[in-house]
Amino acid sequence: MITKRGSGILLHITSLPSQYGIGDLGSGAYQFADFLAQTGQSFWQVLPLNPTDQASGNSPYSNISAYAGNTLLISPELLIEDGLLGQRELENSPDFPEGRCDYSWVIPYKNKILESAYLKFRQNGKFRNDYENYCANNVEWLDNYALFVVIKKHFGGKAWSDWDHKLRDRDAGALKDMRKEFAAEVEKEKFLQYLFFKQWFALKKYCNDKGVQLVGDIPIYVNYDSVSVWVNPELFKLGQDKRPAFVAGVPPDYFSQTGQLWGNPVYRWEALQKTGYDWWQKRIEHNLKFVDILRLDHFRGFVAYWEVPVAEKTAVRGHWEKAPAEEFFATLKKHIPNLPLIAEDLGLITKDVKDVMKQFDFPGMRVLQFAFYEDKPDHPYLPQNYIENCVVYTGTHDNNTTKGWFENETNGRDRERISHCLGHGAAVDNIHWELVTLAMKSIAKMAVFPMQDILGLGAEARMNVPGVPGGNWEWRLLPSQLSSQLIEKLLGLTKSSSR
């Protein structure tokens, strides 16, 4: 249940302004937090914060760890303040493009900076006690994560199932030998996690002190080639060779005749059940330490999920498998009584999914862009049909911007429906504010807008096109776009909407 009526902005950390090629946890993040406070916003929603890689298109939804932070988001500015970098080490930075993130430049540059920070840490011993306390408090996941990253580099990036069989099968002696031989590399990975969380928690405190809550995002699945599966193979449907027997996806629908084949291993829910859902409980508790509210991606998969035999090339020949949703969420609620979750319930949602959401009082999502494609006065995404306990969005990270959508994805009949809903004609120059206002004035307790819609940007500013492998997750905000006129307009709308 959402207790507070408010509004907020969806902007991932990578999209923040920064002179280092990618948004980070430095001054750009604090300036954006100030913008949120100045405009009366209550929420800042981000995408998953886990490590990303180029092989997966830099997607934050594709990760090698359910716990680790993305070290590309560590701020060099803050490292200078901490005495872990000198200004000289940042002088010969590439001429990064404005307004977008070029990961092919960013990754080697950031890795070089982080290597320098680690060497300085080794030399001067500053933060040693704080670092060791962090390691002790996170030992359950951190040691395995750091070792996984180091072994993966040692084997040239190969998947863990292709490692030497003793390391693949986590032979205690082989793991001990690797820890000893690569002690410095393992320590570096742990130190970089320390830096990420140190910077993150400082930002979270700053936001919370200004009355802004952080909304995180947790993907339902993890990558097969991840520390999560390497350490817990018994929790996933793997074959005797420890490779996936079934993978996740969604069945054919209006958007795709062959469905979507995601390729992540699916859970062995009966094995999770025997442990009291311990893996999931710890994962959610960990995430709730550094955000205030969590969006559960692909919520319907906790009720029933589409599994596809691994040999299939499309998702057509999959089948539904039930998951023990009621027992699972009841168990979570015992450990986390105030379970602040938003259910990502987009797409074809069946009654059993709605029943679970209602039973546990989880708010679902309403996306305004989806409301106008059919003549249906009772469409659940039309503002007049909302309930209080929901979160309304103009669009999400997977949608076109509202302006781009209106220009490129609506026809004459769709625009008539939009105009009917607005009570007047809809025009491309102002459509973003029209939809933002509809959402703001609605009964929904929570309203969230991609920053691109607050700025009225077109399709060129889209964050992600699902199913397209390249060119995603690159859009970035420019400092000049946070103008005094924008602050005044958004604050006025927020106040007049009682948010």
Sign of CA dihedral 256, 262, 263, 269: negative
Beta carbons of 69 and 194 less than 8 angstroms apart: no
Distance of CA 306 to the CA centre of its chain: 22
Q: Rounded to the nearest 5 degrees, what angle is found at the Cα of 134, between the Cα atoms of 132 and 138? A: 120
Q: Which amino acid is at 247?
A: V
Other beta carbons within 10 angstroms of residue 455's beta carbon come to: 18
Of 407, 408, 349, 355, the residue nearest 380 (C-alpha): 349
Sign of CA dihedral 477, 479, 484, 487: positive
Structure tokens of 309?
A: 């035999």
Q: Are strands 260-265 and 246-250 parallel, antiparallel or unpaired?
A: antiparallel
Of 168, 332, 298, the residue nearest 221 (C-alpha): 298
The residues annotated with a catalytic role in the active site are 297, 344, 398
Q: Across-strand partners of 446?
A: 6, 391
